[in-house]
Chain A
Amino acid sequence: MSQIALAADFAIIIVAATVIGLVARRTGQPTIIAYILTGLLLGPVVLDIVTEDVLVENMAELGLGFLLFLLGMKMRFDDIREILRPIVNIAVWQTILQTALALLVAWALGFDPTEIVIIALATVFGATPIIVKILTDKDEITALPGKIDVGVLIVQDIYLVVVLALLGADSLENPTQIATTLGIITVMMTSIGLFSLASSRYLLPQLFHRIADNKDVFLVVAIAWAFLFIAVSEAFDLSLEVGAFLAGVSIAQLPYSKELEDKITPITDIFILVFFASIGLQLEAGDLFAHWWEAIVASVVLMVGNFWIMFYLIDREAFSVETSFLGSINMVQVSEFSLVVGVLAVNQGYVGSNVLGYLSLMALLTMSVSTYIISYNHTIYARVKPWFSRFESDEKGDADLETHDGHAVAIGYDEITERVLPLLESAYGDVVVIDRRTDHVEELEAEGEYAYVYGDVRHGEVRKDAALSKAAFVLSSSVQPEVNRVVLAEAADDATVFVEARRIDDARDLYDRGADYVIMSTYLTAAKLSEYLERYVTDRETFEKAVAQDIELIERQARHRERLPIDDEPEPEVDDD
């Protein structure tokens, strides 16, 4: 039987990456380093037991496609609108200055002209997976420095997509050809981009509105959308990455993108692992260490140089010194895209794999060092603050960002939570509702009173978006014990948490895990109903009075719901017997 054995190399890569990843975790290093090391370990550099076969190559390419799709999906223009202008300024100048610096360094280190150009294009600073990952773990991603970094990374991605498209083109012999290619790319990208934006406004809302409620279909249709764009950009001779990225951008503007992002991430994780490992597989020991001292020198110079470039640029936009410092020191590592660009350049035959080795070594060095730098960014700032205070001035100050803190979160918008929302609104002033039904979200939109997050609360991204961990009051009308356990684990210790359960066992468990009150609508109804029935047989008059009150309540609720654009479909989360 020769079944999965066909994929043995793929299997070995994943298992090895897991083991190395676990080791890296103990030393606080990000997984991307573990993946590159996995490739080096399994490839010719050390063990030489895995070669880059067709399947591995395909999976690596798929990983790249998904990575770009995901990246496009993160391009929510709304997220950075408040600080859009300074961010574009910073990003554009940062790209220009750092490319110039990289060019200078490569020239000084004595690379030949083509290599210098490729290295300069490929040396981009700021690695999204590392910055986002560590800042998220430290809960700083929505703070101002984090926002600036993420914003810059987003704008930078557009530059990278152009570079990828350029390098992916077939002929780049002379300046005219480069210019024509660039022109064609711009036109193509603009037209596909316009189509993607037009569809995100006119086609996708209808399409996904119908589909988002159906979990089985949602993901596959989104992937189909990405492949459609990939096929179209292939037809236009653009790279796969461009298509995937633009497909992502068109979905990003929809309210359902957060949830989709969470669904695409694991698929990306597994394929992109193969991609990073495959870089290591392509390198011989000779390649990796061909320019070892140049890599070290360049790493040091570029880390320092880029810190100052970023610091100068952020500072120029009149943010506070602390923000400028943190925002810049987070960005002192080579982007994962340097490797993507490097791989492409090698495949297109512009440079030898020694340059890829140089870029990989630089990535490994800067990423591993910067991990510690980001982790201790505040400590470092505290140390150097006295010196940096010379940059302080009165005009500088941080823009205000909208964040949720000390607010109330309601999970599920139904008749249970609906009654309580006004109370929470008046007590906390800020209520965020999480719901994964498109019609409920439309209802909320129509009411326009509460902020909402569309998505399944099972997804970390969704919980983060609602700032669940910072809420002062959490009300969950989900009856699923596993969801409520996560909610209880994530909510702050001093937050008041009300959750719902169906069974007494579950309720007790939730109380043990710190719930302040467990709503049990079945037992509550049962108790009320049997109370009413007792009155029905003993004291008809009180029965009628009590029932009349309830009926009035029902009618009021029903009238209230009548106004709202919901269909007659009963709620899916109606509980029990």
Chain B
Amino acid sequence: MTDLITTLAIVFVTAGALLVVANHFSLSPVPFYIVAGLITGAFVDQPEIVDLAQWGIAFLVFVFGFRVDFGAVRSVLRDSEAAAVTQVVVVTPAAFGIGLLFGFDQLNALYFAVAAALSSTIVGGGLLEREIRDNLVHGRLASSVHFFDDLLAIAIVLVLSAEAFTPTLVTSKIGYGVLFLAAGLLVYRHGFPLLVRLADGSGELVLMGSISILIGFLAAAELAGISIVVGAFAAGIAIRNDSAVSLEVRNGIESIRDFFVAIFFVTVGALVTVPSLEVLVVAATLVCLVVLVNPFVIMLSFLYEGYDARTAFLASTSLNQVSEFSLVVAIQALLLGTITETVFEAIILAAAVTMILTSFTRRHEETIYRSVIEGAVAERQHRQLAERSSVSDLSDHVVIVGYGRQGRIIVERFERLDCPYVVVENDPVLWDSLREDCSNYVLGDALSRSTWDSARAEAAALIVSTVDHAPVSETVLEVADERDLEADVILRAGDSRAAQRLLEAGATYVSVPNVLAGDQLAYIVEGVLSGETDAATVRSNHVDRLETLERYGFDTAVPDD
């Protein structure tokens, strides 16, 4: 057994044990890799493992490159515009100033600022998985900012790879970056499909080919004197493809990535020696900036954009951790020899601390919101609610919570029946279509009581929620209970047991898409199996229905809800 394999054994066994602990407490694995590195630091000093860690960086960015959803870029820019501007204009310069105060040179102050501003997709996005899947507004906002941060990080790495910051050098780096992206797109169009054809169904060869493409781009990046991160990103773009074999290959590359990325994170932790007091002070400052200042400033910018206070708060607290890309920036700087030990170690320590903290803040964010934020912004919320709502003098009306696809279909029906209704929605992006399509609407947070005042809940005959989010359902029932409302309540739930609980708590009816779909499906399957109808008929009927829906424009709800 060679030294490297002994080192890897130490690395993986330590990391594995810590991951079991992390998983037990539902914490993100990333900080625990870093902690494993801190623990095993003394054993991990082979130059080869730094090589393997470099592959970790390459695969991290490579996978990011082929996962990038270019279709989403526009909506990301729309969502993260304000937050992005805030980060670039407010947080970064402020942190840069603090860095200078610590006596760093400009470059190191910049590294410090980058670490303060960018937040982590793997950690933050991982914790938000459910919110993002359920398409809650704050989940979408946070993941947009994460995505923006990742792209920004790649650009920063590109610029920082210049040996000196003269305009010519920086421009030439950017020029190379553009060239690489163009080359990536070229391979995506012509090279990769050719590879898939030549491989003739062999997943192994497509996998090797993809890694060869990665290697080609990395080598080119080195020749051009720019960071391998840019090469890996372009290579990721080059292998985007949605054939069946490439799904297999992506899984394969992701496994390989997991292996190398684990080594990368552990190595990063291992590079930290016993920290000096100075390092601890810098790290603590960085933690404050990331956990308190950055989210606070971003929250203000979301509020300014017109999001309700809860959404703004929840979205910004999901951004309170150091990005894994900041670690990439730091280690690249270390290899270039431009970062001081203090800044490097402070960034790593702050990353580990904030990545662990973020899980805890998320567990208590509702409490923090209620006790700290809600009161502070109440006044403003009221004003905004009034400004952005339009409710005539309604009674015996229906309150519809959520203007997603279900909400739209219901509104359309009520318009046709000429029955009074009011829509409650918290996504400002939908404001235009609310104004256009709905006779009455409230743009506000369904979890806040004042929204229900605006919707005239007291006079309502029926409240229908189309949102599958337990807090919303519970609030509706609470409001009905507190105010002794006459109205019937129809809610939505994800599965039959949740639905049953809501029914017991007083809901008139609960729609469960899976149960309804299962019911319908059983009916269709029975028909097909018994020969009463055949698949072709079922199919053509459904295609017709879809066309009808499309004609009514029901597939164009702006954010995919």
Contacts and interface: CB of A to CB of B under 8 A. Distances in A.
A77 to B, nearest CB: 25
Interface stretch (A6-14, A310-318, A338-346, A433-441): A6-14
B144 interface: no
A519 B335 contact: no
A576 B135 contact: yes
A507 B211 CA distance: 33
Interface stretch (A100-108, A119-127, A193-201, A484-492): A484-492
Contacts of A571: 494-495
Interface string A536-568: 111000000001001101110110011000001
A530 B22 CA distance: 45
A505 B555 contact: yes
Contacts of A62: 5, 8
Nearest to A264: B255
Given A4-B54, A18-B205, A529-B406, A220 B251 contact: no
A3 B222 contact: yes
B518 A415 contact: yes
B514 A415 contact: yes
Interface stretch (B86-94, B100-108, B497-505): B497-505
B255 A210 contact: no
Nearest to B512: A554
B64 to A, nearest CB: 15
Contacts of A398: none
Contact of A570 (B29, B244, B494): B494
A58 interface: yes
B204 interface: yes
Contacts of B539: 511, 515-517
B4 interface: yes
A419 B521 contact: yes
A525 interface: yes
B154 interface: no
A418 B497 CA distance: 14
B395 to A, nearest CB: 14
Contacts of A427: 529
Nearest to A489: B244
B199 A22 contact: yes
A22 B255 contact: no
Interface string B511-532: 1111111111110111011000
B19 A521 contact: no
Interface stretch (A80-88, A222-230, A280-288, A357-365): A222-230
A216 interface: yes
B218 interface: yes
A515 B524 CA distance: 14
Nearest to B555: A504
Contacts of A61: 1-2, 5
Contact of B516 (A19, A25, A525, A570): A525
A234 B464 CA distance: 65
A557 B503 CA distance: 14
Please classify the interface of chain B as helix (H, G, I), strand (E, B), loop, or mixed, using the class held by over half of its residues: helix
Interface string A244-284: 00000000000000000011111101100100000000000
A414 B513 CA distance: 12
Given A22-B198, A58-B48, A547 B222 contact: no
Interface residues of B, number: 128
B97 interface: no
Given A31-B204, A265-B252, A521-B514, A210 B4 contact: no
Given A57-B2, A216-B29, A424-B525, A262 B251 contact: yes
Given A210-B23, A561-B497, A486 B247 contact: yes
Contact of B522 (A4, A420, A574): A420
With most chain B CB atoms within 10 A of its CB, the pick from A231, A537, A547, A575 is A537
A549 to B, nearest CB: 10
Contacts of A350: none
Contact of A523 (B204, B244, B503, B549): B549
Contacts of B134: 574, 576
A486 to B, nearest CB: 5
B9 A227 contact: yes
Contacts of A496: 528, 535
B193 interface: no
Nearest to B467: A577
Contacts of B228: 3-4
A378 interface: no
A219 interface: yes
B363 interface: no
A530 B410 contact: yes
Interface in A202-244: 207, 210-211, 214, 216-217, 219-221, 223-228, 230-231, 234, 240
The 3 closest A-B CB pairs, nearest first, are A224-B16, A266-B252, A577-B404
Given A4-B219, A482-B242, 19 more contacts: A6-B51, A6-B54, A17-B208, A25-B202, A26-B198, A61-B5, A220-B16, A227-B16, A240-B5, A264-B255, A266-B256, A269-B252, A483-B247, A527-B409, A532-B509, A536-B462, A550-B511, A554-B496, A571-B494
Interface of A: 1, 3-7, 11, 14-15, 17-19, 21-22, 25-26, 31, 54-55, 57-58, 61-62, 65, 207, 210-211, 214, 216-217, 219-221, 223-228, 230-231, 234, 240, 262-267, 269-270, 273, 414-420, 423-424, 427, 458-460, 475, 482-483, 485-486, 489-490, 496, 498, 500, 503-505, 507-508, 511, 515-530, 532-534, 536-538, 547, 550-551, 553-555, 557-558, 561-562, 568, 570-572, 574-577
